[in-house]
Structure 1
Amino acid sequence: MGERGDEAVTPAGRLFLQAEMKQVIHCVIGLKNPIDAELVKSQVRNSTMLQHPRFTSLMVRGEGGVEHWRPTEIDIDRHVLIIEEAVGEREEEDESAINKYLAELSIDSDGLSMEKPLWEIHLLKAHKCVIFRIHHALGDGISLMSMLLASCRKLNNPNALPTIAASASTSASTSASKTNLINFRNLLATLWFCFIFALEFILRCLWIRDPKSALTGGAGVELWPRKIATATFSLEDMKTVKTAANATINDVLFAVISSGISRYLDFRAPNGLRDGVQLTGLAMVNLRKHPGLQELSNMMRSNSGARWGNKFGMILLPIYYHRTNTSDPLEYLKRAKAMIDRKKRSLEASFSYKIGDFVMSTLGPKFASLLNYRILCHTSFTISNVVGPQEEIMIGGNPITFLRANNSALPHALILNMVSYAGRADMQVQVAKDIIPDPEFLAKCFEDALLEMKEQVTAKI
């Protein structure tokens, strides 16, 4: 039993405190002007972040090993780490140096001491970069990005908060009888896809695994040294491809990943896989009622559908290897769109969230952690995508030049984290360097895949 004032850690939060699933999220902010460390500390002291009890609480284990949040006093100097000198080689570019620093942090999930609330801010002054290091038990990427943006303002309007896109609404104009028929067919299709994907999900937990490839990780790989590279995409290019194919940005993203991985495998192991073989990714899907970033005031309310914390499901994303000298780039997009359309109707993300919550509540975090770890070992890569602000923003009066994110290492040898901001999207390509020694080349494969798709659609216009 916890002390008076203690708050129980949520089931999802307990999962990320298990040894196999310890996860720390890194939110990376590039700044235009030099960093004033004292100003940063002052802003943190007065920030919305410290109004949230999880950021001012210790994680303690009570009787029976049950975790609780216990309120404590905050010493800002213990949370803000100031690195004055450059973190890379003398002639190394900022991006390369920052990625090298992040790669070291990614295998240091024990670096957040339990003797203080589970977050830190690293100030890389020589590189004009700020890294928020936050334990996944505190919240997911949407929660943390929403909190970060609450401290930012628009560059062209210093008194205005960044714009958070509202969820789109749809209206129906079909007749009642036709609508009923469509709804009945949709219900049957949804039930069928739910059954298929639920069965696939369960079999993945038990024994089905991807074939071995040049990307394959496995048990223990989360402890291996890491490298990180950054793939940069123009959102305008993605929208051009999306519009021409009547697709979505996510359709384009997964097509780019599929094509990019095929390109990379052609280079690394040209005869290693047969054409058409399936590799499976694991994607994290936000399950809040209102998709996208959330108003922080809504997330603070316990009765809000956009509640703070970890509220996401997992979906399995099959991609298919095809030799790039024989395949049409837009075929990857057609396959990605068809696959994601089926996933939307399957409720797979909701199913995985519910079953995970049930297992946590009945069998405990140890067993749930084992199941999650097995799924990671049986698939080939992880992908997450957070939609950031569309306009340029600043924090503490300092313009932000880029927003990126990555997380602690997993059994996967390949982890992809994408964040969009002000017309571009940066995808962090994190790899186990003993398996994938050249993440820079893999990042270029992804960039070239999008450019080739854009050339194909513009040639047809």
Structure 2
Amino acid sequence: MLILIFQNKKLAIIVVLFSSLSPCISSSCNLSLYKPAMEEEEEPVTPVGRFFVQEEINQVINCIIGLKNPINIESIKADIRNSIMIQHPRFQSVLVRNKNGREYWKRTQNVNLDNHIFLIQDVNDICTDDDDDEIVNKYVADLTVSSPLSVDKPLWELHILKDQNVLVWRIHHALGDGVSLMSLILAVCRKVDEPDQLPTIPKPVIKNNRSSRENIWELIMRIWLSFVYTMELFLRCLCSKRDAKTKISGGSGVEFWPRKLATAKFKLDDMKSVKNTVPNATINDVLFGVISAGLSRYLDYHEPSNSKSPKGLRITGLGMVNLRKQLGLQDMSELVKSKSVSSWWGNKFGFILLPVYHHKNVDDDPLQHVKKAKDMLDKKKLSLEAHIAYAIGNFVMSFLGPKVAMWINNRVVCSTSFTISNVVGPQEEIMFGGNPITLFRVTSTSLSHALTMHMVSYSGKAEMQILVAKDIIPDPQFLAKCFEDALLEMKDVS
């Protein structure tokens, strides 16, 4: 799960009440093989962090960074050793548990980079494809189901695929979400055109020219929509309300099935062209319109001609939503000075239910997919669905424990069909250790969904990693093409 669909601006009182209920937990014994830093206090893992380290989910973010020039291993190590990243408390801490199973972060005296950086030299023997993209995707797909991070050291690794000029950062989701980790990775990068300058991420322009009457009406709609969407979420958990079975449906246990990974490649200019055609649309509206059109096209292709699937079949996704008030890069120099980083670092996201309606062979007006997506997302933005989901998750982990949280998570995931997230990256070209970055992609550990999609924008491009259970969706490259063709058709009529 990585993050940034949109951002709500107000919180309901119930969210504040739930969020304030996280208990204060005492320190515990150290079960790690790392030697702890002297006199360093243990810091409790946040409820969301505790959720991600449970054996049943154990989420790891895999960030793929392609470099322009050949990789120098020693130079990479030196850059990391001297970077602000290695000063980050989370990257210096091991996960420890007490006899009651409570998780804490424990600072170490030092981090041995040789235990975290791995040179992968035999990937060409495992993957015989000539295309570097396919080789990297196959390698990462295997990582998503078979390679958890060791708890005997800080929960991050760097895999270097030297022949492909690719770095694969593996960072446990308990350390942070997509926005946090994007901030940290970019803090060790610099602009290509201005080597002394940090990368920047664009911030949205917020305008509020509404009248008092319009504000009152917005508040009423916010309360109503929040109630409706929260009730739908409860129905998913308690009453077995679930999507109908389709070609992309997963289910309990699918997270352990072998995976395939494909990449859908978009031009941001194409997405902006479509956005400008639909009044007041956003890039996220266009993205979800592309998802809607692409999934409909894929299901049409795989559906038997004599099939009698119901008209307007609903397919529901889980969208990850950043809940921070301030978008853009966080100040890493201030972060590493802070004794406790839980208040503003880590995982600050909720999720929303995103419905797609499959209408067979509806391609007369491709922009209808964007218009319908905008109408749905506008209502989701107005509600507090993501905030309430985040608060409920905190409450359940804090007071009811991980078993109940896992049960609720499984009910929601297994009643829906896919996961999607979108993280905004830098617009300009950047470099790591003086080596220009050519691509920036992200995926995560497998879920019970058969289809997981993570998009990251970078330097005029937007690339979406499509992770699938290959026994359910054997042709993710074709699905990627369905998405790419959907955007091009929208652009042609815009």
Consecutive unaligned residues of structure 1, counting only runs of 5 or more, are: none
| 1:162-198 superposed Cα distances (whole Å, 9 cap, x missing partner) | 12223423243x6xxxx22112111111111011001
Alpha-carbon RMSD across the aligned residues, in angstroms, is 1.7
Check the 8 A contact 2:120/2:159 in 1, yes or no: yes
Contact 1:153 1:161 in 2 (8 A): yes
Secondary structure of 1:144's counterpart equals helix
Note if 1:328 corresponds to 2:354: no
Shift of 1:266: 0.5
Which residue, out of 377, 385, 391, partners 1:354? 391
Look up the equivalent residue of 1:344 and give its one-letter code.
Answer: K
Q: CA deviation at 1:296?
A: 2.7
Q: State the partner residue of 1:71.
A: 107
Q: Does residue 1:257 correspond to 2:283, yes or no?
A: no
* Cα distance, 1:356 vs structure 2: 0.9
Structure number with higher helix proportion: 1
Whether the aligned pair in 2 keeps the contact of 1:23 and 1:109 (CA below 8 Å) is no
Give the match for residue 276 of structure 2.
243
C-alpha distance 298-280 of structure 1, shift in aligned 2 (>3 A): farther
2:477 is the counterpart of 1:443: no
Contact 1:30 1:130 in 2 (8 A): yes
2 CA distance for matches of 1:327 and 1:145? 39
Report matched runs for 1:40-55 at 5 Å.
40-55=76-91
Task: Tell whether 2:222 aligns with 1:190.
Answer: yes
Which shows bigger deviation, 58-67 or 444-453? 58-67
Question: CA shift at 1:125, angstroms?
Answer: 0.1
Whole-angstrom CA distance in 1 between matches of 2:339 and 2:418: 34
**Residue 59 of structure 1, CA deviation:** 0.5
Q: CA deviation at 1:326?
A: 5.3
Aligned to 1:397: 434
Aligned pairs for 1:53-452 (under 5 A) are: 53-72=89-108, 73-87=110-124, 88-110=126-148, 112-172=149-209, 179-206=211-238, 207-246=240-279, 247-270=281-304, 271=307, 273-297=309-333, 307-325=344-362, 327-452=364-489
- Alpha carbons of structure 1 residues 298 and 243: separation in structure 2 relative to 1, 3 Å: farther
CA–CA separation in structure 2 for the residues paired with 1:89 and 1:352: 40
The Cα shift of 1:91 comes to 4.7
Of stretches 78-87 and 296-305 in structure 1, the one that deviates more from structure 2 is 296-305
Supply the distance in 2 between the matched residues of 1:42 and 1:238 (Cα, whole angstroms): 39
CA positional deviation for 1:92: 2.0
Describe the superposition over 1:45-80 as per-residue Cα deviations: whole angstroms up to 9, x where unpaired.
111111111111110111211011112231110100
Please give the secondary structure, in 1, of the residue aligned with 2:142.
helix
Whole-Å Cα distance in 2 between the matches of residues 335 and 355 of structure 1?
29
Equivalenced residues, count? 451
Summarize the Cα distance change of 1:290–1:368 in structure 2 as closer, same or farther, 3 Å threshold: same
Question: Distance in 2 between the 1:306 and 1:385 partners?
Answer: 23
TM-score by length of 1: 0.94
Distance 2:145 2:158 in 1: 17
Q: What whole-Å deviation, never above 9, does each CA across 1:79-110 have from its counterpart, x for those lacking one?
A: 00011344354452100000000100000252
Q: Which amino acid aligns with 2:217?
A: R
Distance 1:10 1:298 in 2: 20
Please give the per-residue CA displacement for 1:266-291, whole angstroms capped at 9, x wherever unaligned: 11114363231110000110100113
Partner Cα distance (2:343, 2:193) in 1: 28
On the 8 A contact 1:32/1:401 being kept in 2, the answer is yes
Residue deviations 1:222-271, cap 9 Å, x none? 00000000000010000000011021000000000000000000111143
